[in-house]
């Protein structure tokens, strides 16, 4: 377990001693820094030492602290203020390299200058060694410490936490105790545990069995801009701050867990009202790529879709929750962590994104993982996914492309495809780019079926009922009965999308009632059984709606005499391979006869590619399939559906 060495820093009269005494009742190994430094010397003598001697004693105190094997909490000073005879204030930093190498976290007490002024005045006689300062001078000291301490923490990899005390001492103690407990839980191991729990919670709410997961990065993948950078640009503009420590943090430490934790704590330290205001402004200036909006809306709208999109981000959760809800309602879940501003107990770094892929693979081993990203932060996720897509940004993904030359990403380099948007690339196309291009339209075609086909491949009922029809030993009359059962089952699905009407019936108790129901316009409805393979499935449909017409079909002319009487036609065939036979009858009905009624195609199995093409060719036709199949094998002899139904397998 990572040892947490927490420093509690603040200027004179910030309340460090009061805090420390309260913490001693809850935690072990809590130390007053000045007592450790002056362990073998009086405070008066220490103050008379030169700077070099004082630094040596401070370093010795840290060395003694290092001997403690458990977590430790220590109060400390970053600097001391001095006031010149001309009443100018200047600051002497006292933080040593030993301090910077010791602490894992520093909590800074960001007290109001007015409170410090009152305490200095009150303690003036008792602590004559402390200079009297104006409120403005105290503010300068606080600003100096916060700026320099943050810079030191980023440089040294120390996580900086800001604590703004309240007037209620008991409340302050409770807040600090919680903060320290949170800090002690902030380890990579606990982060992984919390992410696993978050994914389990997310997937427990799914009402489908996922066939594909789309894992999408957010900033510069779904949008052109980086909302995190935009947020801090607006922060600096609104507060007149001129130090970009947000970017410096990542420049110094890369995309590590520690760097993302530092960023998360920086968000957490902001005033809640300012944080929400800046989030609102960022949302107002952030647009999602319209191509991605259309792509995701098509995925969500597909009635037969078993595709689950999840946005996985290292950026600002509140911003992206608002953006996703604006475009997609609450239909796209989000995995990301900024700690306290949005309430998560984890952060999302490079390894965490890859972990999301592995967890989903463990939970859904039969599902495909498709990942979309743009930067180095997404590299591990892209490498772990089954299919990976690089969204080209305004830098042409220079940093990520450089990393692709590393040996461990050689496999990713082979499978990676790029998605470009004209507004980002200005219409330029690099013919020499070794990463092949693909469009969202092409991905969508292979990802979901058109909106006018409903298929039940992954339903439990479909799996059970289809199994019997595929058994080698079943044929003849037994197989005919199974096909009828499938037809009856499919009819029950189809009628859910049709209108039924109330009818009068003679009740079993001997009186007439009006609460019976029937399919609307049954007399103008016909079932067309494609001979021979579709006949018994069609009979199953007929059993469900026995008052409609039943028509045997061998050739188009078989339909002619019925066309003037029908307003709705069910075309039933058990197997649709390339779909040429089905195209022939649909063309005859729609283009030759100009049939203007509703056409519904019902099938037991349809080839996957055909299920994507045929409905697009006939958008006015509704298609229903028990299941889709990647198998392009055409049955002959013992495997031909018609021969199996009628025990004529010897013919071929």
- Residue 601: which CATH number? 3.40.50.2020
The residues facing 500 across adjacent strands are 519
Provide the pLDDT for residue 28. 93
Does any domain span residue 238? no
Q: Which of 159, 185, 211 is the last residue of a domain?
A: 185
The phi and psi torsions of 336 (rounded to 5 degrees) equal -170, 160
Does any domain span residue 278? no
Provide the pLDDT for residue 652. 59
Q: Which of 157, 185, 213 is the last residue of a domain?
A: 185
Residues 380 and 460 in one domain: no
Provide the pLDDT for residue 462. 85
Residues 311 and 400 in one domain: yes
Does any domain span residue 608? yes
Provide the pLDDT for residue 529. 94
Total count of domains within the chain: 3
Provide the pLDDT for residue 351. 96
Tell me the torsion sign for CA atoms 139, 141, 143, 149: negative
Does any domain span residue 276? no
- Write the DSSP assignment of 553-576 as a string of letters: ESSGGGGGGGTTT-SEEEEEEEEE
Provide the pLDDT for residue 85. 87
Residue ranges in 205-243 assigned as alpha helix (H): 227-239
Residues 635 and 499 in one domain: yes
CB atoms within 10 A of CB 324: 21
Q: List the chain residues with pLDDT less than 50.
A: 637
Residues 486 and 390 in one domain: no
Residues 388 and 475 in one domain: no
Does any domain span residue 299? yes
Residue 505, domain extent: 453-646
The phi and psi torsions of 333 (rounded to 5 degrees) equal -70, 160
Residues 463 and 436 in one domain: no
Provide the pLDDT for residue 302. 80
Does any domain span residue 216? yes
Q: Where on the phi/psi map is residue 413: left (φ > 0), alpha (ψ -120 to 50), or beta?
A: alpha
CATH number, domain at 196?
Answer: 3.40.50.1000
Does any domain span residue 266? no
Contacts of 539 (CB under 8 A, 6+ apart): 483, 484, 487, 529, 550
Provide the pLDDT for residue 446. 87
Q: Which of these, 28, 144, 148, 68, lies nearest to 100 by C-alpha position?
A: 148
Residues 432 and 470 in one domain: no
Tens of pLDDT, residue by residue over 168-178, are 888 999 999 99
Tell me the torsion sign for CA atoms 315, 328, 223, 276: negative
Residues 481 and 597 in one domain: yes
Q: Which of 447, 462, 478 is the last residue of a domain?
A: 447
Q: How many CA atoms lie within 13 A of 305 on its CB side?
A: 22
Q: What is the pTM of this model?
A: 0.82
Residues 360 and 475 in one domain: no
Tens of pLDDT, residue by residue over 378-410, are 999 999 999 999 999 877 888 899 999 899 998
- Write the DSSP assignment of 479-539 as a string of letters: HHHHHHHHHHHHHHHHGGGS-EEEEEEE-TTSSEEEEEEEETTGGGEEEEEETTTTHHHHH
Q: Which of these, 225, 216, 212, lies nearest to 372 by C-alpha position?
A: 216
Provide the pLDDT for residue 361. 97
Residues 443 and 484 in one domain: no
CATH number, domain at 91?
Answer: 3.40.50.300
SS3 category, 334: strand
Does any domain span residue 217? yes
Residues 216 and 181 in one domain: no
* Beta-strand pair 79-83/89-93: antiparallel
Residues 389 and 402 in one domain: yes
Question: 9 to each of 73, 75, 123, 497, 608, how far by Cα in Å?
Answer: 11, 6, 20, 67, 64
Name the strand (E) or helix (H) holding 327.
helix 317-328
d(CA 527, CA 492): 15
């Amino acid at each position: 377990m990572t040892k947490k060495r927490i420093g509690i820093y603040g200027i004179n009269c910030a309340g460090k001693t009061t805090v420390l005494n309260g913490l001693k009742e809850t935690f072990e190994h809590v130390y007053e820094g000045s007592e450790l430094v002056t362990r073998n010397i009086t405070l008066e003598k220490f103050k008379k030492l030169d700077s070099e001697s004082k630094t040596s004693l401070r370093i010795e105190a840290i060395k003694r602290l290092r001997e403690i094997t458990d977590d430790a909490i220590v109060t400390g000073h970053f600097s001391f203020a001095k006031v010149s005879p001309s009443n100018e204030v200047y600051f002497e930093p006292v933080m040593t390299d030993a301090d910077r190498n010791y602490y894992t976290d520093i909590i800074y007490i960001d007290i109001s200058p007015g409170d410090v002024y009152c305490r200095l005045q009150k303690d003036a006689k008792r602590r004559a060694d402390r200079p009297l300062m104006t409120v403005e001078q105290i503010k300068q000291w606080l600003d100096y410490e916060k700026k320099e301490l943050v810079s030191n923490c980023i440089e040294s990899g120390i996580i900086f936490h800001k604590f703004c005390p309240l007037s209620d001492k008991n409340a302050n103690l409770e807040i600090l105790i919680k903060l320290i407990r949170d800090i002690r839980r902030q380890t990579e191991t606990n982060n992984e545990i919390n992410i696993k729990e978050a994914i389990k919670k997310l997937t427990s709410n799914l009402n489908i069995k996922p066939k594909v997961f789309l894992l999408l990065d957010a900033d510069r993948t779904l949008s052109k801009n980086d909302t995190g950078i935009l947020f801090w640009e607006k922060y600096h503009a609104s507060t007149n701050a001129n130090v970009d420590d947000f970017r410096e943090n990542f420049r110094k430490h890369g995309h590590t867990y520690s760097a993302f934790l530092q960023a998360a704590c920086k968000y957490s330290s902001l005033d809640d009202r300012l944080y929400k205001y800046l989030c609102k402004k960022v949302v107002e200036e952030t647009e999602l790529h319209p191509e991605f909006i259309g792509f995701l809306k098509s995925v969500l709208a597909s009635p037969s879709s078993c595709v689950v999109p999840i946005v996985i981000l290292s950026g600002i959760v509140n911003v992206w929750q608002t953006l996703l809800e604006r475009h997609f309602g609450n239909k796209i879940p989000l995995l990301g962590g900024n700690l306290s501003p949005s309430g998560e107990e984890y952060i999302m770094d490079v390894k965490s994104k890859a972990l999301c892929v592995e967890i989903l693979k463990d939970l859904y081993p039969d599902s495909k993982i498709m990942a979309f990203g743009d930067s180095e932060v997404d590299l591990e996720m892209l490498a772990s996914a089954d299919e990976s897509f690089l969204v080209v940004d305004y830098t042409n993904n220079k940093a990520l492309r450089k990393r692709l030359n590393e040996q461990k990403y050689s496999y990713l380099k082979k499978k990676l495809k790029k998605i470009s948007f004209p507004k980002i690339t200005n219409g330029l196309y690099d013919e020499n780019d070794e990463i092949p291009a693909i469009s969202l339209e092409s991905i969508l075609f292979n990802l979901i079926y058109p909106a006018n086909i409903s298929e039940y491949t992954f339903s439990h009922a479909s799996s059970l009922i289809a199994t019997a029809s595929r058994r080698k030993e079943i044929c003849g009359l037994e197989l005919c009965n199974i096909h009828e059962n499938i037809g009856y089952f499919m009819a029950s699905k189809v009628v859910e999308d049709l209108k039924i009407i109330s009818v009068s019936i003679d009740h079993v108790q001997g009186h007439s009632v009006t609460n019976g129901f029937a399919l609307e316009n049954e007399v103008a409805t016909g079932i067309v059984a494609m001979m021979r393979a579709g006949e018994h499935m069609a009979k199953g449909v007929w059993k469900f709606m026995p008052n409609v017409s039943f028509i045997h079909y061998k050739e188009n002319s078989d339909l002619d005499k019925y066309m003037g009487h029908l307003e709705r036609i069910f075309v039933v065939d058990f197997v649709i391979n390339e779909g040429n036979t089905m195209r022939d009858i649909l063309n005859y009905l729609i283009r030759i006869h100009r049939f203007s009624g509703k056409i519904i195609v019902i099938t037991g199995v349809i080839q996957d590619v055909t299920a994507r093409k045929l409905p697009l060719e006939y958008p006015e036709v509704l298609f229903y399939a028990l299941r889709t199949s990647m198998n392009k094998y055409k049955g002959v002899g013992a495997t031909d559906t018609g021969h199996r139904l009628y025990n004529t397998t010897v013919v071929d």
